[in-house]
Structures are given as C-alpha cells and as structure tokens.
Structure 1
Amino acid sequence: MVKSAKWFMTDLIKNRFLYVLVLPGIVFFLLFNYLPMAGIIVAFKEYRMDLGIFGSPFNGLDNFRFLTVDTASVLKVIFNTLFLNILFIGIGTSLAVITAILINEIRLTWFKKISQSLIILPNFISWIIVAVFAYNFLNTDFGILNEWLGSLGLPRISWYSSAEWWPAILVLLYVWKSAGFSSIIYLAAITGIDQEQYESAELDGANKLQQIRHITIPGISKTIIILLLLAIGRIFYGDFGMIYGLVGDNSLLFSTTDVIDTYVFRALRTLNDVGMSSAIGLLQSFIGFLFVFAANAVVRKYDKDSALF
C-alpha cells in the first residue's frame, strides 16, 4: 500500500500537467455520476419531502411492487423499450457506419465539408422542433404526407391514431437526427487506418467495394463493438425527450410507443411516488449493467482487444 502510494505521488509530480488536463473530467464524473449514487437509497424508502432522503423510513422492496400490480402493462412497456432500442441501435449504427464510409469516399474537399455539416445539423434540432415538423408532415387533415397520398388517389392515414406505424416513424426520425452525428466517431476511426493498405489493395486490383469490405470495415470493427457495448448499457432506457416530445399523452399510440421512461413519468406525475420512480431507475441501471457484462463476456471470448474490460 505504501509502495503504491509512493509510486502514485511520484507519477503525479512527473505527469502533473496531464493530470491537470484530466481533472475537469474527473470532477464532472464525481459530481454527476458518483455522488448522486447516494440517492439509490430512495428506492428502498417511503420518501417524504418533510423528512428528506435519509430521514424517510425504509419500506424494504415495497417500491418494486409495481412489477406485480399491472404485469401486462409492465411487460408491454419493457417489450417496447427493448424493441425500439434494438431498432435504434441496429439501424442507427449501420447507417452511421455507411454515412461515415460515404463521406470518407468524397474527394472534393469543399463538397465533403458541406455534406458533413448538413448531415450533422439535425442533431442540434430539439425533439420539440422535430415534433412540430412531424405534426405538420403527418397531420390527417393538412399534413404534407396525406396531401401527397390524396393527390395519388390513395386514402388518408390517421397517423396519430394508428399505433402500428409508429415504430417505423420513430426509427426514421431517430436515424435522421442522430446518424450524421454518430458518424463522426466512425469517420475518425476510418481516417486512422493506414492508407498504405488501400494503395496495396488498389495495386492488387481491388475495387472500392472490396476495399471497404476487407480494409475499412475490419479497421473500424473495434470502434463499432465498443460503441455497441456502450449502447447496450442503456438498452433499458427509452429516449424520453424523443418519445414524449413526439407522442406526448396520446394513449392511442401507447401500445407501440410507451417505454419505461414515459411510463415512470406518468406514474410520478399522477401518483407523486418518488420511491417507485427511483426503484425503476435502479432496476434499469442494474439490468443494463447485466446486459453490458454479458455482451462484454461474449466479445471477450472471441476478441479480447475489443472488450471493454
């Protein structure tokens, strides 16, 4: 212990400037990720505002009874959360990689910069603004899409009362908003690939598709796997801002769009049960950890270098 402390102090003095650079990140995670973990105790208490977090009485596992009160609704919400996140992760990652590859293949510098800027731009538009766009596009009476369907002699669709369409709509909007921004990481990984590999492949007669298949994709595979593992960690978290912004309290769409986060929000708003909300959040984090641990174990079995730990 003494030897380790002495080594750390020596390294701290030697690399003091590097530690100063990393200090803001350490402080950020301490303040916003580790210190709030003390609030986990609320999941096991009957929280009362007048008594505070530590003064409220313990109630054991009573806050987790929501799992047995309305099992059908809970299972449906869990299914929606998993199903939508699998679609977001699978389709979003695929299109982000494709976008990065396509941008990398653009040879005109000015066109490449403009294209990348336009693709990234939707990420900075809030979901509330996107919801306004979607409403004007999908509205039954005056929506652009229904006007187009009407001009073709096709029947209008009541999008905001047809739940079966919304998984596809949510995925489409999610990809439109996030794929360009996500492609930045993959584009950075592509630029890190040794260019001599492409030159050698070209000399051997490989076309662009063969170069992408045998050089580009294997070259960024570790980055893809790491980002997938990180995404799996939040697979039990629904994108509340997105889904509530687009769907709101429209109960006609709950069968395919209601996720854990929106379910908890409605419960907290109507029941004001902070303990139950904390219990659900703890359960989400715990299950997410198990998913990451299992996925990492699978990756580690086949490729240790790509595993997180």
Structure 2
Amino acid sequence: MSDRVGILNSEIHVNKNRLGKNTVWREIKRHKGLIGLAVPGLLFVIVFQYLPMFGLVLAFKDFNFGKGIWGSDWVGLNNFKFFFTSDAALQVTRNTILLNLGFIFITNVVSISFALMLFELSRKAVKLYQTTLFFPYFLSWVVVSYVTYALLNPQLGVINNVLRQFGFTDINWYMEAKYWPIILSLAYLWKNVGYSTLIFYTGLMGIDKSYYEAAAIDGASKWQQVRNISLPLTMPLIILITLLQVGKIFYSDFGMFYFLTADSGALYATTDVIDTYVYRALRVSGDIGMATAIGLYQSLVGFVLVITVNFIVRKVNKENAIF
C-alpha cells in the first residue's frame, strides 16, 4: 500500500512539473511581443550593471596593471582603511549626506508645489510653463558653471556689481565656503525642478476627476481639495521618488560639485563630497583599489538606507512601501 502511495505521489509530482513547464512556455508564447521589447533593456542592464560587478574584487586588491585583476595582490580591507583613516573622510561624508538631504527636501517640496499649481492651469499654459521649467534640465553643468562664474566673478560678476550699487563690499565667492551650500542648493533646484515637477504632475493627471467633482459639489475649496485629494492620492508616488533618492544619497552629481565650484580648494570645507574626493585621489595617486572600495561603500550604505526607509514606511503604511 505504501509503495502504491509513493508511486502515485511521484507521478503527481512529475505531472505538476510538466504542467508548470507547459504553463511557463505558454505564457512566454502569449507575451512574446512584450518580452521582445524588454530584451534590449534587460541586456543593457546585464551588460552595464551586473557584469561590471565582478570588478568589485578590486576593492580588496592592490591593483597592478601588469598583473591584471585576478593576479593583483590581495590586501583585504586596507583600501577601506585608507579612506576611513584619512582626515577628509568625515568631512566628505558629512557634506555628501547633508547636501543631498537638502537637495531632496527642497526639490521635492518645490516640485510638488509647482505640480499642484500647473494642475490648476489650462493645457496651453501648462505647455508653456512645463517647457520653461524643463529647459534647464538639458543644460550641461559645464555650461551652467560659466553662467555661475559670470554671476559670481569677484571683479566683474553681476552680483558683486549689484552689491556695489547698494554700498556693500565685494565678496570673493570662490574663496568663501560658507555661501556655497545655498548656491549649490539653488543651482540644483533650478536645474532639476522641471524634471521632478513633470513626474508629480503626471501623477496628479492620473487621479480620477470624479473625486474633484464630488468635492466641488460638497463645497470644498481648492486648498481642501489639495489637502484631502491631491496630496493623499499622490503620496505613494512621492514616497517612491523619495525612497529612490535616499538610495542615492551617498552619490553626488559630480559635474555640479566639480565644475560649479571650479574645484576651488578654499571651498572644500562645505563642497567636497565623496565623488570629488575619489576623483582627486585617483587622479593624484592612481589607486584604483581605493576608488573601488569607496564606490562599494557608497553602494552598500545606499542599499541599507533604502531597506531602512522602506521598513519605516511599511510600518506606517504598508501600501506605500516599495516591497
């Protein structure tokens, strides 16, 4: 009797496996068009995101071009020790976190506000304002750095000329580190607010109009509609965008921090971030192992931050969490 039960169970297991395989192939054939469209994107991610991860072994090696990646000497955590024991480690980590937190907060608040205002305008007006806001996003930081220099030039800059007209003394902007957190925040906001506004505006466009019609019939004001309809229904998108930004909080826009500040050593106290520090260290010493170690450090911390923030969001509202 037990033998028959065992044989029956094995046959059932085999039939389930065959059924599962047939179902998978059936679904593949059914959605072959969509899968074909996804293949180039998947190949791009695999080639440029996953295959380079094998190079992370360089973080634990003293890389030598003659010996190659696998032949270079193993040094363990020495590359990490070089960064964490340096005098600039705390400074660049602090600047990276605080500046990026400021960018995230300011850009999201202003972008959501602009998106709510655009949502109340006519379609023709929206196109005009969208184009105006979105245009700076396409400008290179090299171009923006020249515009900034024209404004902040110590002798001929527009801002210093205005200060002279009001009786104030000139400011050597590229030697005064205390002003640059504000300058960088304004520059980042000006360049990225259009892109973020477009994302949040798209989220608002997806809200069912019947909610607003019902609220208007009940006598709700525009502010009440924003507070009770627009913001709550856009909150999942806001949280998603914020989580993605928090995951990259240890990464900085290298072009902005390097070109906008003209790599002035006098500004390092408030503008030197991990990316610019690694670039200078790599340019001077050519230590690829140390640069890889810091890159791995950035990725791991970003991963931990995403998991942590998502866990907090999940505890507050499970539906708004990514996973």
Matched residue, 2:94: 79
* Farther-moved stretch of structure 1 (30-39 vs 266-275): 30-39
Q: Does 1:239 align with 2:253?
A: yes
SS of equivalent residue, structure 1 residue 57 = strand
Distance change (3 Å), C-alpha of 1:164 and 1:282: same
Name the amino acid aligned to 2:189.
Answer: V
* Farther-moved stretch of structure 1 (283-292 vs 55-64): 55-64
Query: Equivalents in 2 of 1:249, 1:123: separation in Å?
Result: 22
Matched residue, 2:29: 13
Larger radius of gyration: 2
Structure 1 residue 34: Cα displacement: 0.8
Name the amino acid aligned to 2:146.
Answer: V
Deviations 1:175-232 (A, max 9, x none): 0000111111111110000111111111111111111111111111000001111111
Query: Equivalents in 2 of 1:176, 1:149: separation in Å?
Result: 23
Query: Equivalents in 2 of 1:191, 1:62: separation in Å?
Result: 52
Structure 1 residue 10: Cα displacement: 2.0
SS of equivalent residue, structure 1 residue 210 = helix
Q: Does 1:229 align with 2:240?
A: no
Equivalent residue for 2:313, pick from 279, 296, 299: 299
Q: Does 1:248 align with 2:257?
A: no
Identity rate, percent: 41
Matched residue, 1:279: 293
Distance change (3 Å), C-alpha of 1:248 and 1:53: farther
Structure 1 residue 28: Cα displacement: 1.4
Deviations 1:135-181 (A, max 9, x none): 00011111111111111112221111110000000000000000111
SS of equivalent residue, structure 2 residue 74 = coil
- Aligned 1:107-146 pairs, distance under 5 A: 107=122, 109-146=123-160
> How many equivalent pairs are there?
307
Query: Equivalents in 2 of 1:127, 1:229: separation in Å?
Result: 25
Structure 1 residue 67: Cα displacement: 3.4
User: Is the 8 Å Cα contact of residues 83 and 290 (structure 2) preserved in structure 1?
Assistant: no
Deviations 1:89-126 (A, max 9, x none): 1111111111111111112x322211111110000000
Matched residue, 1:45: 61
Query: Equivalents in 1 of 2:320, 2:298: separation in Å?
Result: 25
Structure 1 residue 5: Cα displacement: 4.2
Name the amino acid aligned to 2:33.
Answer: F
Distance change (3 Å), C-alpha of 1:45 and 1:7: farther
Name the amino acid aligned to 2:41.
Answer: G
Unaligned runs of 5+ in 1: none
Equivalent residue for 1:172, pick from 186, 198, 205: 186
Name the amino acid aligned to 1:49.
Answer: F
CA RMSD of aligned residues (A): 1.3
Distance change (3 Å), C-alpha of 1:248 and 1:143: closer
Query: Equivalents in 1 of 2:230, 2:308: separation in Å?
Result: 27
- Aligned 1:82-93 pairs, distance under 5 A: 82-93=97-108
Task: Give the structure-2-normalised TM-score.
Answer: 0.92
Query: Equivalents in 2 of 1:146, 1:88: separation in Å?
Result: 26
Query: Equivalents in 2 of 1:206, 1:158: separation in Å?
Result: 52
Structure 1 residue 2: Cα displacement: 4.2
Name the amino acid aligned to 1:79.
Answer: R
Name the amino acid aligned to 2:217.
Answer: L
Unaligned runs of 5+ in 2: 1-15
Name the amino acid aligned to 2:32.
Answer: R
User: Is the 8 Å Cα contact of residues 61 and 76 (structure 2) preserved in structure 1?
Assistant: yes
Query: Equivalents in 1 of 2:183, 2:203: separation in Å?
Result: 30
Matched residue, 2:7: none
* Farther-moved stretch of structure 1 (50-59 vs 158-167): 50-59
